[in-house]
Amino acid sequence: MKITFLGHGYEPESKNSVGNYLLDFLSKNHFHTFTGISAFASEAGILGLADHIETAKRYFKNLNLIVGIDQEGTSKEALIEIYNLKINSYIFHQEEPPIFHPKIYLFEGIKETKLILGSSNMTARGLFGNVESSLLVEFLNTDKEGKRLLAELKDYYKDLFNFTDPNLFKITKEIIQGFIDKGIVPNEVVRTKKFGKQTKDEKNTEGKPSLIIPKRQTSKIPIRFRGKSKTNKAAEKIVKELEITDTITIEAGSLVWQKKKLPSSDAQQVKEDTNVRGVIGLSDSNFKIDGVKINRNTYFRNEVFAMLNWSLKKRNNNSPIEEAFCDFNIKILGKNLGVHKLRISHDAERAANQNNITTTIHWGSELITYLRNNSIIGKTLSLYYPVKGTVYSIIIE
């Protein structure tokens, strides 16, 4: 049995966040059952997991989710998104004072089991941003200690794991509305306000000197976990236009990067005796998220393309480089070129030199030929994140 500490939110990067492990395990094909039990859930938390849960339906026989709704910790929008997942899902609620507060994420396979126990709710901040502590317990199903731990867990919460507890309510539109009518389930705005930080106007209301609290760098929440309210309106407009005018629907969400005035090198327009680079380097291009310029060394690998299946490769000089493949729906100068699977490479070692670009998209021979014949010098390239599924969009105009 292997036990690993998972912590996030206490330092900026938080690679060992519970959210990252959930995304990873949901994409594996060697588990048959997932059971998630969470005291609270938010719209952004469920939306962020939705694509991977959809993928998990190909491999998992059972996908189960139980959420609590005490203290207005779960919004109606979150419950609606859970309902839309079309998996085995329930609300747990009782009238008595003790609140429902567990956080359990269990992945069961034929050969192995992975269990996360800790403080992380199924909210964006609970999975990535808050200061949280959890334990990841991994064991082969032949491990006696692991089997005993799992048996103890399932025995204690027996009526939750077999879905017979009388205070479990199968999530339906009628059940959601019933709890809304009772005033138990708030909307996302109310939930966020209740669990968010105080604003400056709410502090120091009596005019007394405020206690000075040091500033601290916090963990960033991946874009996919920022909820519908963060979706770029311009991107939505472009999607609607494409759906009307093109035979292929481009599924795009937030604008995650933009580069204006493309140079000849990115446009693959070079002299005949010069080799084309064949890539577009993902520089910062002064692109900002919530008013803060992106860090090109980490932003693309850890946020924009975090959900891809990255693998470590060795180059000729034996130095490591990460590689992933991604589907892009591409539209150039008003022409929809359809979906292309392109290679993305990330070289973390290049971050040592601030002038280097660590992440690049490789155009592929077909698109290189097209770009050579259709100049995009001086144009603007926009990269959009998927709303659903895993197809990104690149639009050059």
- Contacts (Cβ under 8 Å, ≥6 apart) of 164: none
Domain at 2-195, CATH homologous superfamily: Endonuclease Chain A (3.30.870.10)
- Domain map (residue ranges) of the chain: 2-195, 231-396
Provide the pLDDT for residue 140.
97
- Distance in angstroms (rounded) separating the CA atoms of residues 237 and 244: 11
CA torsion sign, 17 to 20 to 23 to 28? negative
Residue 355: the pLDDT is 65
How confident is the prediction along the chain (397 residues), in pLDDT tens digits per residue? 999 999 999 988 778 899 999 999 998 899 999 999 999 999 999 999 998 999 899 999 999 999 999 999 999 999 999 999 999 999 999 999 899 999 999 999 999 999 999 999 999 999 999 999 999 999 999 999 999 999 999 999 999 999 999 999 999 999 999 999 999 999 888 887 777 655 444 444 455 666 887 877 777 777 677 766 444 444 444 444 433 333 323 234 788 899 999 988 888 887 766 667 789 999 989 998 877 888 888 889 888 888 788 888 776 666 678 899 999 999 999 999 999 999 999 987 765 455 678 899 999 888 988 998 899 999 999 999 886 678 899 999 9
Distances 4 to 16, 21, 133, 144, 296 between C-alpha atoms, Å:
10, 12, 11, 18, 30
Is the CATH number of domain 231-396 2.40.330? Answer: yes
Distance CA 134, CA 18 (A): 8
Question: Is the entire prediction scored with pTM above 0.85?
Answer: no
